[in-house]
Amino acid sequence: MINLKSWFILSILYVFLCTAALGSDAIESVLRRLDSKKAPSVVQESAAKGVLQRLLPTHLHSFEFKIVSKDLCGGRSCFRITNYKSSSRNSPEILIEGTTAVEITSGLHWYLKYTCGAHISWDKTGGVQLASVPKLGSLPLVEAEEVMIQRPVPWNYYQNVVTSSYSFVWWDWQRWEKEIDWMALQGINLPLAFTGQEAIWQKVFLDYNMTTRDLNDFFGGPAFLAWARMGNLHAWGGPLSQNWLNIQLALQKQILSRMIELGMTPVLPSFSGNVPAALKKIFPSANITRLGDWRGRGRSKKNWREVIRHDMEHLQLTEDMTLDRKVWRTRIRVEG
Ligand SMILES: *[C@@H]1O[C@H](CO)[C@@H](O)[C@H](O)[C@H]1NC(C)=O
Ligand SMILES: *[C@@H]1O[C@H](CO)[C@@H](O)[C@H](O)[C@H]1NC(C)=O
C-alpha cells in the first residue's frame, strides 16, 4: 500500500500548496464563479425539503426553508434559524434560511441536535435517533430569537478515491440517496463524485479506434477500479460488462443531479494520463511510458474466480473453510 499512501499524501500536499499559492482573492473568484452556477433557489429549497421528508416525514410542514443571499451573512455562507411568527394553526414552527440547500439542511441538523437532542449519523455510529424530537406543534423555540452560524471555511470535502472500489461499487441509488442526505445534514458541500467514469473512458477510447477487447485489457474489475484508475494495475479483476458500465453511468447522473440540486459542488475525475496499452498500436510514435509492475504483479489475464482460487490455494484454504470466519481469519494477513 506504500504507493497508494504516498500518492494520497502527495495529492493532499498538492491541493494544499495550490490553495496557499492561490491566495484569498483567487479563492473569492472561484467561489463567485461556483455561486453563479448554483441551482435556482426553488430547486434547492425543494431538495432540502426532500431531505426532511426522508428524515422526518411527520414534521415536513413544521419547517419552512428559504434560500437567502450571502449578504445576509456578512458575505459568507451561513444558516439562520428563527421562530416562525404566525398565529394560525398548521403554519410552520421554525424557519431555516441558508445560502444553499446544504446550509439549510445543516441548519436543520443543528436544530434537531441542539434543541431536540436528536442524533444523526451513519448506521455504524448510532444511525438516526429522532425519538426525542417533540411532536408536531410543540417544537422548541430557538432562544434569543435567532441562531446564525457562518461556515468557517468555504469547502467541506468528503470521500476518498479508493472508497469508490471498497464500498460504493456495490451501492444502488437508494443507498446513494441515503449517503447524500447524510452529507447534506453534515454540511458537506464538496463531495467526490467518481461513479461511472469508465463508461466515459470507454466512449473516448472507442472514438480513438480501440476495440472492446483492448479495453477489457485495461479497465479493472469493480473492486479494483481505484487501482486501475491510478495506473497501478491494468485489467485486474476485469473485464467490466456493458450492463455494469451503463448502470454506473445512469447512477452517476442521478448522483450528480441530486448533489447539484442541494447546492453542492461535486468533484469529478480528470485525466490522469493512464491509457490502454493498445494506444501504442494505434499511435506508434506516441511517447507512452510503460511503468514497472506494481507490487510485482503487473497485469493479470485471470478473472476474479481464478484469482480467488489461486489465493485460496496459496493460503491453504478450502471452500468450506471460507464459510468459517474463525478459520479464515487465522490464515489471512491484512496488508497495510
Ligand atoms: C478512426 O478510424 C477512422 C476510420 O479508419 C478514421 O477516419 C479516424 O481518423 C480514426 N480516429 C483516430 C482518432 O485515429
Ligand atoms: C518521452 O518521454 C520521456 C519521459 O518523459 C522523455 O524523457 C523523452 O525525452 C520523451 N521523448 C520524446 C521523443 O519526446
Is the per-residue pLDDT at 17 higher than 50?
no
Mean of per-residue pLDDT scores for the chain: 88
Kindly give the distance from the C-alpha atom of residue 286 to the centroid of ligand 2, in angstroms, as a whole number: 10
Would you say the CB of residue 211 lies under 6 angstroms from ligand 1? no
How much is the pLDDT for 7? 45
User: Which residue puts its alpha carbon closest to atom 14 of ligand 2?
Assistant: 287
Distance (Å, rounded) from C-alpha 247 to C-alpha 184? 24
- Whole-number pLDDT of residue 51: 98
- Our answer on whether the CB atom of 208 is closer than 6 Å to any ligand 1 atom is yes
Residue 127 corresponds to which cell in the numbers above? 444511525
pLDDT reading at 25 higher than 80? yes
Atom 8 (ligand 2): residue with closest C-alpha? 287
- 3-class SS of residue 172: coil
pLDDT reported for residue 250: 98
Q: Is the pLDDT of residue 5 over 70?
A: no
Average pLDDT over residues 309-330: 80
DSSP-derived letter for residue 133 is S
Confidence of residue 293 (pLDDT cuts 50, 70, 90): low
Please give the average per-residue pLDDT across 153-166, as a whole number.
91
Query: What's the pLDDT at 19?
Result: 55
Nearest CA, atom 12, ligand 1: 208
- 283 CB within 6 A, ligand 1: no
Q: Does residue 138 have its Cβ closer than 6 Å to ligand 2?
A: no
Shortest-distance Cα residue to atom 4 of ligand 2 = 289
- Cβ–ligand 2 distance for 287 under 6 Å, the answer yes
Q: 22-31, 141-150, 165-174: which has the minimum mean pLDDT?
A: 22-31
- Stronger pLDDT, 220 or 297, i.e. the higher one: 220
* Residue from 275, 280, 285, 287 to probe ligand 2 pocket by mutation (most atoms less than 8 Å from CB): 287
State the pLDDT at residue 210.
95
pTM (two decimals): 0.81
**pLDDT-derived band at 87, boundaries 50, 70, 90:** low
Q: Positive or negative, the Cα torsion across 275, 281, 282, 287?
A: positive
pLDDT at 204 over 60: yes
The pairing of beta strand 119-120 with beta strand 78-83: unpaired
Beta strand 157-158 pairing with 190-191: parallel
pLDDT for 22: 59
Confidence at 336, pLDDT banded by 50, 70, 90: very low
Give the pLDDT confidence score for residue 297 in this predicted structure.
53
Best mutation site among 203, 205, 209 for ligand 1 pocket (most ligand atoms within 8 Å of CB):
209
Tell me what percent of the residues of the chain surpass a pLDDT of 90: 66
Per-residue pLDDT at 68 exceeds 90: yes
The ligand minimizing its distance to the Cα of 290 is 2
- Tell me: pLDDT of 140 over 60: yes
Nearest residue (by CA) to ligand 1, atom 2, is: 209
- DSSP annotation string for 184-237: HHHT--EEB--TTHHHHHHHHHHHTT--HHHHHTTSPPGGGHHHHHTTS-SSTT
| pLDDT beyond 90 at 206 | yes
Please say if the pLDDT value at position 304 is more than 80.
Answer: no
Q: Which residue's CA is the closest to the ligand 2 atom numbered 2? A: 287
Confidence of residue 301 (pLDDT cuts 50, 70, 90): low
Nearest protein CA to atom 6 of ligand 2, as residue: 287
Is the pLDDT at 3 greater than 60? The verdict is: no
Ligand nearest to the CA of 207: 1
Average pLDDT of span 70-91: 88
pLDDT tens-digit readout, 243-291: 999 999 999 999 999 999 999 999 999 988 899 999 999 999 999 988 7
285 Cα–ligand 2 center, Å: 11
Nearest to 301 by CA among 212, 239, 230, 222: 239
Atom 14 of ligand 1, residue of closest alpha carbon: 208
Q: Is the pLDDT of residue 31 over 70?
A: yes
With a 6 Å cutoff on the Cβ, whether 53 touches ligand 1 is no
Residue 294 has pLDDT above 80, yes or no: no
For residue 84, what is its C-alpha cell?
416562525
Give the separation between CA 210 and CA 199, rounded to whole angstroms: 14
Residue 288 Cα to ligand 2 midpoint, Å, equals 8
What is the pLDDT, as a whole number, of residue 248?
97
